[in-house]
Every structure is written in structure tokens, then in C-alpha cells.
Structure 1
Amino acid sequence: MTDPTTEPTDPVISTPRTRWQRVRDSDIFWSYSHSPVTIIASIVALGLILAAAFAPWLAPHTPFQPATVNLMDGFTPPGGESLSGETYLLGTDDQGRDMLSTLMYGARVSLFVGFSATLFAMALGVSLGLAAGYRGGFLDSLIMRIADVQLSFPAILIALLIFGVAQGLIPAARQEQTAVWVLILAIGLSNWAQFARTVRGTTMVERQKDYVSAARLLGRHPVALAIRHVLPNVLGPVLVIATISLALAIIEEATLSFLGVGVPPTQPSLGTLIRIGQRFLFSGEWWILAFPAITLILLALSVNLLGDWLRDALNPRLRK
């Protein structure tokens, strides 16, 4: 018998959480918010990427159009006033080009090559690794032996070889127009093996699980089974490798451009700007080399730190 003095209470109705609440309560967001180094690295990387992506609208000058360049403003130091009376925040180079605008356009080329080469290497490596791990047999042995041979050489040498062969096959009149795409092809083909080995090992584990056996018994086609069921479960390590490979691809592109086999001078990247600036280092114009080098270091380091954090966040064994 209930007490008549006791008032009935309404049942507690739980409201569904919003998407932002689910993200905020996730382990990845907690790991990100408690890592000051990762927050700073993401801010630096995002700032550099946005500055490069919107360079045509944010840059104070258009540095690679001869009509907008004044040779009399050459070698203006940072913050100094040029002969034409204009002040440049980061100074000018030997051609009178604004260093700030030049860095934004140079980072634009470096990021385009880095992102494109990483996406190409990821697509090729994931496809081959998935086929090798799921199919096995002769195909697995062939792909892995090719990957082993490639991994025994430095990636920069592989990229140099591929770039040289590709440029030899292209007519001289079209080499400058296709240099960026050849560079993307060379860097992508030199970095696919890491993706293939990782995906192949994870696929060999996933294909033994019950959900794959159940899908196989239901008559799913092997290609559809590998793409629809196995591939989503191997993307975690792929994202980590892609982030770290992006930093390596940017450095690799800068190295090739520094050696003079990268992008043409008409659309220079950070590596080309460093190669140009090192000629004036000992003559007193230190900023022509220093600012492109600092930009490259900040870009590669911030992306690499994000890759390290992502690796720890996606791997429960590495969480503290």
C-alpha cells in the first residue's frame, strides 16, 4: 500500500545526445584537448595550409608576374623601406619580390605536391596491400617482394630515378608543363610500400574473423567483401601513415626541388626558394634563405607531430 502523502515522480526521460556531445565525450577529443603540443601543432599547420590555399586573395603582392615586380626593390631587409617607398614585412629577394607573398605561393605548390603524392601513394598502396592480404598466394609474394626491394633503397633515390626516367620519356617542349605531375608520380611511387605492408598485415588478421566468414557464406563477391567489409577496418593505421607520409612527401619534394629536379622556377616551391636563397646566405641577405627554411620546418614538424598524436590516439595500447 502506497503512502498517499508521497507525490508521484515523473520518469526520467533521457534526451538523445547531439553530435557535438558525442564528439566531445570521445577518447580522441579528450586526447587532443589534453595535449598542448598537438593543439599548437594543429594551429600552426592549419594556419600555413589556409595561408597557402588562399594565397591569391591573402598575399599582399603577386610575386611571379613580371609586371608587378620592381627590380629596384631587390634585397630590401625585413621591415625596411625599399627604394620605391614601400615597406615589406619579410623583405624582398634579389628580384624585388615580396618574401611574404613568395612564401605563401611557394607553400601552395609544396602542399599541393605533398597532398597529391600522398593520396596517390595511399590509393596505390592500400589497393595492393588489400589484394595481397586477402588473396594471398603468388600475388601476395609478388607484391611483397617488390615492396621489399623498394624499401631497401632510400625513397629520395627512387623518386630521383622515376623522375629522371619520366622526364626522359616526355618531349622537351612539355617537360616544364608536366614537371609538377611527374614529381607527384615520382614521390607517390616511392612511398606506396609502407601503405601496402601495413594494409596487407591488417587484412590477413581481419579475413580470419567471423564477420568475413559469414559474408563469404552469404555469397558476397570477394572484391565487394574486401572493399565493403575488410577495408573500413584497416583504415585506422592508414590514416596515421598518411599523416606522417604527408610530412615526408613535403620534405622529399623540397629536397628534389633543392637539387634542381623538382618544380620549374616559374612556379617555385619552398625547396626552390631555399635553393635560390642559399646563394645569398654569405653575402648578408640571410632572410632570403631563412624564411623559406623556417616555413618548411614549421610545416613538416607540425604535420609530423599531428601524425604522432593520431597514432597514439588510435592505438589503445599507447594511451597513458
Structure 2
Amino acid sequence: MTDKVSKTTPSRLRRALDSDLFHAFKTSPVAVVSAIVTFVLVFSAVFAPLIATTDPFNPTSLNLMNGFTSPLSPNDFTGESFVMGTDDQGRDVYSTILYGMRISLFVGFAAVLFAMVLGIVLGLTAGFIGGWTETIIMRAADVQLTFPSILVAMLIFGFAKGITPIEYRDQMAIWVLILAIGLSDWVQFARVVRGATLVEKNKDYVAAAHLMGRPTLIIMLRHILPNVLSPVLVIATISLALAIIAEATLSFLGVGAPPTQPSLGTLIRIGQQYLFSGEWWILFFPACTLLALALSVNLLGDWLRDALNPRLK
């Protein structure tokens, strides 16, 4: 009897492949191409030590004689050639992009995760408890919305870096950057979760949980939270692209990743210095990588938002 039930019950993979969401994905060329580009870039960043030709941030692997070598052209002194050329220090641009993309993705994912957790906690608390708690949280969110997020991130980064001991600033720069971007991006998560919580807490299943004597925290986490996660996941996908761009902007302005751990933004800032002297590849390839990464993630977020919107079905 058990074997018959197991044969007739579809597996989780089969249910996922037969779902409306996967059907919408495979019938959308933009979503498929964006997913492929995102997967290739993320895969390349994760396995950069295996894919990169050299470790560009290892001083022992650098040769200053290879500096400013144009793409696919042999160096005049060493005779070596590089697919994307080299920068001013003789580092392979292709390898620096892979390693720099690891930092950009790590900062983006960590900042969005931090902002999402903080926004969910504050949004659930404001929507479910209400009263002065809701007023304080939402007024703080309104005040933060009056300032551009990049300025808020710069302010938080400058303050956090100022209180960090000088000898630890380079080591803590990445974590300070994550904190700055996360604290500047929690508001949209909190507003969406609060609105969804206000709708969900008046439904019958919440009233039944109250009658059963469930604690408030359990009701918020086990009953309301799963029903408000769909819009949160959409926002998180779109926010990932914005977080990557914010990290690149801060690093380009010189207040982000340190020179010892350059991200895509730092590489673009370095390349910009040599753009008008003819070494265009130092800026061009990191900028194209950042554009492809941010655009593909953003398009995936737009598709997910439309696919999960019941009004568009």
C-alpha cells in the first residue's frame, strides 16, 4: 500500500517543475537569459580561485613589467598576453574581476540579508503590536526615506569607520560596508511586512491561534510570517541589485572596500584614472561585468514580482 502511494504521489521536484511559477519562468526568454547570466557570474565568483589564471591580490604573483598590457596583445617586455589585459600593477584584469566580483556579491547578499531580517522584525512588530511601537518604528522609517539611501549609507559608514581603531579599519571595512548598506535599506522591507501583517492579523486563523492561547511571538513567527514572505522575497531580489550598485558606488567614491580587497567598484575607480590615457580596458571590463550582474539580477526580480502578482494572472 505504501509503495502504491509513493508511486502515485509526485515528488517535490516534479511538483516544482509542474508549478505555474516554473511554467512562467521557462516561457519568459528574459527570465531565462537573466538566470543564465546570473548563474554564470555567481559561479565564476564563487570558484574564482579555480577559474582565475592567477591570484591578483598575491604580491608574489605580480610582475610590474606586465603593467598596461592591452587585451590579447603580447607584452613588450615579457611577451605574456592576457585576455582582458592588465592594470597599472600588472594584475590580470580577468582575474581581478573574478575576485572583485566575490566581494561585491558577498557584500550584496549579506547587506540584503541583514536589511531583510531587520525589516521583517520591525515590520512584524509594528503591524502586529501597533500603538506607540508602530508609531515610533514607522516615523523612523519615514524620516529615513527623506534622505537618499546612498547618503545614509555614507553617513553610517563614516561614523562606524570613525569609531573603529585605525589598525582594524581595513579588516573591518567590508563588515562596516555591509552594516551601512543594510541599515540604509531596511525601510522598504519593514513597510511591506507591516502592511501585510495588518491584513493577516485580522483573519480567522490568527483569532483561532489567540483562542488556543498561543503566545504572541509564536503567532507572529509561525502563523503570520509565512504568509507575508512572498513580497519580501521579491523585494530582496530587487534589493540585491541595488545593494551591489550601492557597494560599487561607495567603493568608487573611495569609502567602500579597501584597496587590499578591491571590489568591482574599486576596480572601476582605478580604471577611471587611466581611461583618457588610452588604457580603456582597465575600466571597460569591470564596468561591463557590474552592468551585466546588476541588470540580470534586476530583471529576475522584475519577473518574479510579475509572476507572483495575482492581478496579472
TM-score, normalisation: structure 1: 0.94
Q: Deviations over 1:45-89 (max 9, x none)?
A: 111011011111111111011110111111111111123222211
Q: Deviations over 1:128-169 (max 9, x none)?
A: 000000001110010000000001110000001001111111
Give me the whole-angstrom Cα distance separating, in 2, the residues matched to 1:78 and 1:102. 14
2:58 is the alignment partner of 1:65:
yes
User: Structure 1 regions of 5+ residues with no counterpart?
Assistant: 1-13
User: Structure 2 regions of 5+ residues with no counterpart?
Assistant: 1-6
1:16 to 9, 27, 30: 9
SS of residue in 2 equivalent to 1:176: helix
Give me the whole-angstrom Cα distance separating, in 1, the residues matched to 2:221 and 2:143. 27
Q: How does 1:221-232 map to 2 (within 5 A)?
A: 221-232=215-226
Indicate the percent of aligned positions where both proteins have the same amino acid: 64
Query: Cα offset for 1:25?
Result: 1.6
Residue type at the aligned position of 1:70: N
1:55 to 48, 52, 66: 48
Q: Deviations over 1:85-142 (max 9, x none)?
A: 2221111111110010000000000000000000000000000000000001110010
1:254 to 248, 251, 257: 248
Q: Which moved more, 1:113-122 or 1:166-175?
A: 166-175
SS of residue in 1 equivalent to 2:170: coil
1:217 to 211, 216, 238: 211
Match of 2:68 in 1: 75
SS of residue in 1 equivalent to 2:57: coil
1:176 to 156, 165, 170: 170
SS of residue in 2 equivalent to 1:175: helix
Give me the whole-angstrom Cα distance separating, in 2, the residues matched to 1:158 and 1:272. 20
Match of 1:280 in 2: 274
Residue type at the aligned position of 2:167: A
Give me the whole-angstrom Cα distance separating, in 2, the residues matched to 1:24 and 1:192. 33
Match of 1:98 in 2: 92
Moved over 3 A (4+): none
Residue type at the aligned position of 1:45: T
Match of 2:131 in 1: 137
Residue type at the aligned position of 2:150: I
Match of 2:4 in 1: none
For the pair shown, which has the larger CA radius of gyration, 1 or 2?
A: 1
